[in-house]
Structure 1
Amino acid sequence: MDVFEFVASLVNSLAWPAALVVIAIVFRQPIRRVLNRMAKRVGSMTEVRAWKVRAKFAEKTTQVNQEIADEASSIDPPLGQTYNEGVSLEGESPREIVMLAWLDLEENLRQAAEIAGVPSDRSVPAARLRRNFPPDIQMRLRELQNLRNAAVHMRDFSVSRESAIAYARAASKFGAIVRHPSIVMAMRDEARENPASVK
């Protein structure tokens, strides 16, 4: 390879990158406008997605809250006001409110399991304890857990503080329901009839 072949191959290798640089310099304004428009569209899509998540969380929380209220009113003897209606979570973000409410509900599940004679130490996850409850309680617990998962695991989770407090009230009321004597007795009966579900 002589010098001329080397220079020719070098020029050939640099032709495309040089052409791209020249095109970028010449068309920088139109390219900038296109990129700005794309950024605005992506930003608005993210806002729309966040709005949908917020609306869905609020809607589902309202639905679960109503269903739990209906269950609480149908329990015999009546539930009363044993749950924490005045949830005070000053300074907490909506995500923290949901998380704290879920942790409180898990503690209520463990207390109910303990009363029913089901092993419930910290190593037993709440999802496993759920198997010992009646089916309607399992379903409601699954719904609350799905809402909690959305709050914890969704990157762009942003719900209103009011929705998060509504979730906390529903979880608190549901915690009182799972500790209700009739539910605990049903759990105890299930544990006796099906010891495999306890493990």
Structure 2
Amino acid sequence: MAPPIKRRRGDLLRRLVWGGLGLWACVLGVMYLTRTARAAPVPGDRVLKPGVSIRGMDGREVALLPRDSAVAVLAATSECAACRVGVPAYREIAARLKAQGIAFRVIVGSDSAAARQFSLLLPDPGTVTWDPRGKLLRTIGIHAVPTLYVVGRDGRLLRSWSPVPPDPRIAEVVASAPGAAR
């Protein structure tokens, strides 16, 4: 049989004080996060400014929001299992959107050897960019991956999916969004 635990006189008081401080730290942390966190954008919110360009994997500058067409922006990471599984569908979606005149951009939210290998599986390397610190993703309002935004020519969000269903038929839904067609 185990010997009884001896408690000192101040243990209970110390636990109450430190436990209370831990609780207050959690409360203050939640209050800070709710005041500083941006909510996810809703359709109609401006998420992209015309003229913003990204550097593709191949090194050339590409407009994130082309002047003459809507754009589908996919956010993904190499660490995300759903992103890796959806790669064949994303390639098909990109091909179908390109045929319908809608640009397709991919933002990979990490910069590592695995991310570089993952990026090679994605469509057109010129439209894939890395965002290791997540600054671009936060600017756009993407909080989870995989996320697909459809943005009109004016920079306003038309439609969003999070997580993205890995189904090539989503390209037809994207093209039918008001403001996406030419």
- Normalised by the size of structure 1, how large is the TM-score? 0.29
The structure richer in helix per residue is: 1
Structure having greater relative contact order (Cα 8 Å, sep ≥ 6): 1
- Normalised by the size of structure 2, how large is the TM-score? 0.31
The structure richer in strand per residue is: 2
